[in-house]
């Protein structure tokens, strides 16, 4: 009698499989739980516009703490944003104001961030309290005869390049290149090149991340 073939699964692989199953179940449960918020968002968007509706819904979901909050926010954002990858993490207190925002693979957004029209590319890290409005001209202020609130403005997409790291409390008004590091408390007012470290108000290049000589640091 022929024996049936047997495949032995290493313990580590078994644990990994269970983790994937549990995470998939948690994502499905989060989608079910957040469904009323999604419905309310779309109904509200017809009355007050998608931007304001998104801001309201994400403010509500931002108050849910812990891992459960991460799952609920991700489930909602996958329905509401232009793109939100299943591996993206959005922490407590963070909200969005523009539905055109995109979150790519392995993006991490720390607590209490405020985000407008942004594209966070793969592996971007935002520390706590980072503000990225929709560019640096959301309010015009050149006409002295009118209040600023009546002068209009413009929104532009701000892109944070793959693998960039934005420090605590930074304000980003322009694109940040791939692999760049923005120091805590900096204000970025002009595009940041790839793989540099910037700091200050306004942010200036301190050095190249991979400089091997003082000359490269000065001219990187």
Question: Phi and psi for 70 in degrees, rounded to 5?
Answer: -60, -45
In the three-class reduction of DSSP (H, G, I as helix; E, B as strand; rest coil), residue 11 is classed as helix
Distance CA 158, CA 140 (A): 18
Instruction: Give per-residue burial for 162-182: e unless 16+ CB within 10 Å, then b.
Output: bbbbbbebbbbbbbbbbbbbb
- Cis amide leading into 104 (omega within 30): no
Q: Which of 137, 142, 208, 219 is catalytic?
A: 137
Find tokens 């909050």 and name the residue. 69
Distance CA 32, CA 121 (A): 28
User: Would you call 131 a catalytic residue per the annotation?
Assistant: no
Q: Which residues are catalytic?
A: 137
């Amino acid at each position: 009698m022929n024996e049936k073939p047997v495949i032995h699964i290493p313990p580590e692989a078994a644990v990994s499989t269970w983790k994937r199953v549990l995470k998939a179940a948690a994502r499905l449960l989060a989608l079910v739980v957040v469904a009323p918020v999604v419905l309310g968002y779309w109904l509200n968007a017809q009355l007050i516009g998608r931007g304001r509706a998104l801001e309201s819904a994400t403010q509500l979901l931002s108050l849910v703490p812990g891992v459960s909050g991460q799952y609920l926010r991700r489930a909602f954002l996958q329905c509401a944003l232009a793109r939100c990858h299943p591996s993206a993490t959005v922490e407590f207190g963070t909200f969005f104001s523009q539905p055109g925002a995109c979150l790519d693979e392995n993006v991490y957004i720390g607590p209490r961030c405020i985000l407008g029209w942004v594209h966070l590319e793969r592996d971007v890290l935002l520390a706590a309290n980072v503000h990225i409005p929709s560019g640096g001209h959301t309010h015009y202020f050149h006409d002295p005869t009118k209040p600023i609130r009546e002068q209009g403005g413009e929104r532009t997409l701000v892109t944070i390049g793959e693998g960039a790291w934005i420090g605590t409390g930074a304000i980003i008004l322009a694109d940040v290149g791939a692999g760049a590091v923005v120091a805590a408390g900096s204000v970025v007012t002009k595009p940041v090149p790839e793989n540099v470290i910037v700091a200050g108000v306004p942010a200036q290049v301190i050095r190249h991340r991979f400089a091997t000589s003082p000359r490269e640091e000065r001219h990187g």
